[in-house]
Structure 1
Amino acid sequence: MFVPAAGEWLPPADCTLLLPAVSVGNVGQLAVDLIISTLVLPKVGYFYTDCLVPMVGNNPYATNEEHAKELCTNAEVYASSDKKLAVLQIRSPLIKKKSRAFCQALTSWMKTCAFSRVVLLSSSHAYQRDDRQLSGTPFRYLVTPALQTSVADTMKALEWKEMEKLSLYPGINDEEKKISIPGGGLTKHLFEDCCSESIHMAVVLKFCSEGDNIPDAFDLLAHVNRWLHLLDLPGEVGTTSWKIPSSWRLLFGSGLPSALF
């Protein structure tokens, strides 16, 4: 499934993997774009899979005309050995009925690479929150049992809020509860697979709505940076600290052609 760009690529020891869920507002994907662009992470390979909608385009992180001619595909891996960081960017949605196969392929790759921790950036529909989720922070997290012990104190110090479990049969039987992440794409499936495979994984998500989700991406990234310290800068890391990729100039299209008027 993973094809290295040149030769063989193996993550360094104690490497963290970041990846997005194709979820409401594409918040996770936008946040990953900012990480790759800001940290200038080189591409080390791509995923060859029939589970994602096929796509190809120009280099979204090009800084000059020559780099703009490079091609990108629907799932690519960027990494830095010095930063002990790998990032998987997913650029197209899952093909219907292929989500389970894709999650299984991802968890298999994660185990092969032996990442020290995996962090999934996601989002969920704000309008489907229950009463407990309407006030306070819009961020939630989930951790697999394999990661729980090592991050419990950190999450408590950060005052992060764990994703609530909802009643399976509201008003009838409130004892049976489940995790519900509406609009979260593969988030729930991948999390459950990582739980069963004993993978050290955390999900960090934000409740949001469709629209201009660039502010949501900045907010989610600033939230995650408090834990992972992707950018170690004095004080709070703001929106100006992250480098916007060149591809975002056409995020909402190229505008109306003047010939129409």
Structure 2
Amino acid sequence: LVCGHSLTGWVLSLQPAVSVGNVGQLAVDLVIATLHMSKAGYFYTDCLVPMVGNNPYATAEDNSGELSINAEVYSLPSKKLVALQIRSPFIKNKSRPFCEALLSWVKSSNCARVVLLSSSHAYQRDDEQLLGTPLRYLLTPDLEKAVGGLMQELNWKEMEKVAAYPGINDAEKILHIPGGGITKLLFTESCSKGIQMAVLLKFCSEGDNIPDAFALVNYLNEWLQLIKSESKNSSDVSSQWQIPSSWRLLFGNGLPPALF
């Protein structure tokens, strides 16, 4: 299914949900570019819209012509870290088969933990979610046992459950992640399959989502310390992330002068 080799003993698999503002994908871009992760293979699937393009992490002219596709795997052996980057949306009705294939790979590759980077519509928050930080986390029961105490130390806020039937029955609470794409499905399936998964997400709106990506990757770094920083100031940490060359084209080309 993917690059072939087992990830037994590897600590972490990092991957994005295709969610509002593409914040998870942008955050994974920052991790891959900054840590100079090398391409280990690709995730072969018919669930994503086909796509091919130049190397999004080109650092020089000689590697800019390398081709990249819709789902690729990058690795960093020194940190026992593997990252899956997804670059295109799901084909209609194919998100569930993709989740099944992805979790099957996670189980068969024996990677210890999975961190899913995601986002959710800011305008659909309830009153409780409007308070404090726009960042939230979720842990499956198996991961809660291992790192739950650390999240308390970091003073992180767990994603709140909301009323299933607001105004009718406020006692019944459900997990609701509007705009989160496959986030809820992957998380609930991981809970039932005994997979150690953490979801880190940010409430945001569509637009220029680069600041959201920096906020999410700094949030991830608070926990995993992927890059070391002496400062507690988030802007100081942000300056240490390397922006990939492909971000120059994030908003397309400028307006052609001929229009005016």
Q: Same fold (TM over 0.5)?
A: yes
1:91 maps onto 2:90 in alignment = no
Q: 1:43 aligns with which of 26, 39, 46?
A: 39
Alignment of 1:55-66 (within 5 A): 55-66=51-62
Partner of 2:256: 257
Count of aligned pairs between the two proteins: 257
CA distance in 1, matches of 2:155, 2:91: 37
Q: Cα deviations across residues 44-90 of structure 1 (Å, max 9, x unaligned)?
A: 01011110011000000001112111000000000011111000000
Q: Cα deviations across residues 82-136 of structure 1 (Å, max 9, x unaligned)?
A: 1110000000111111111000001000011111110000000000000001110
| Contact 2:51–2:69 under 8 Å retained in 1 | yes
Q: 1:191 aligns with which of 181, 187, 199?
A: 187
| Contact 2:5–2:109 under 8 Å retained in 1 | no
1:105 maps onto 2:109 in alignment = no
Q: Cα deviations across residues 116-162 of structure 1 (Å, max 9, x unaligned)?
A: 11000000000000000111010111111111111111000001111
CA distance in 1, matches of 2:259, 2:204: 35
Partner of 1:31: 27
CA distance in 1, matches of 2:178, 2:204: 11
| Contact 1:11–1:81 under 8 Å retained in 2 | no
* CA root-mean-square deviation: 1.1
| Contact 1:117–1:200 under 8 Å retained in 2 | yes
| Contact 2:139–2:198 under 8 Å retained in 1 | yes
**Which portions of structure 1, spanning 4 or more consecutive aligned residues, are displaced by more than 2 angstroms?**
8-12, 257-261
CA distance in 1, matches of 2:22, 2:158: 21
CA distance in 2, matches of 1:233, 1:171: 46
Partner of 1:21: 17
| Contact 1:18–1:86 under 8 Å retained in 2 | yes
Alignment of 1:64-75 (within 5 A): 64-75=60-71
CA distance in 1, matches of 2:259, 2:173: 55
Q: 1:127 aligns with which of 113, 117, 123?
A: 123
1:205 maps onto 2:201 in alignment = yes
CA distance in 1, matches of 2:77, 2:108: 17
Q: Cα deviations across residues 12-49 of structure 1 (Å, max 9, x unaligned)?
A: 51420100011001100000000000000000010111
The alignment partner of 2:247 has SS state of helix
Partner of 1:246: 245
Structure 1 unmatched ranges of 5 or more: none
Quote the offset at 1:259 in angstroms: 3.6
Quote the offset at 1:239 in angstroms: 1.7
The alignment partner of 1:79 has SS state of strand
Quote the offset at 1:260 in angstroms: 3.5
Amino acid at match of 1:246: S
1:215 maps onto 2:214 in alignment = no
CA distance in 1, matches of 2:46, 2:149: 40
Partner of 2:78: 82
CA distance in 2, matches of 1:144, 1:35: 23
Q: TM-score, normalised by structure 2?
A: 0.96
| Contact 1:146–1:199 under 8 Å retained in 2 | yes
Amino acid at match of 1:188: K
Quote the offset at 1:11 in angstroms: 2.3
The alignment partner of 2:239 has SS state of helix
| Contact 2:72–2:84 under 8 Å retained in 1 | yes
The alignment partner of 1:82 has SS state of helix
Q: 2:224 aligns with which of 224, 228, 236?
A: 228
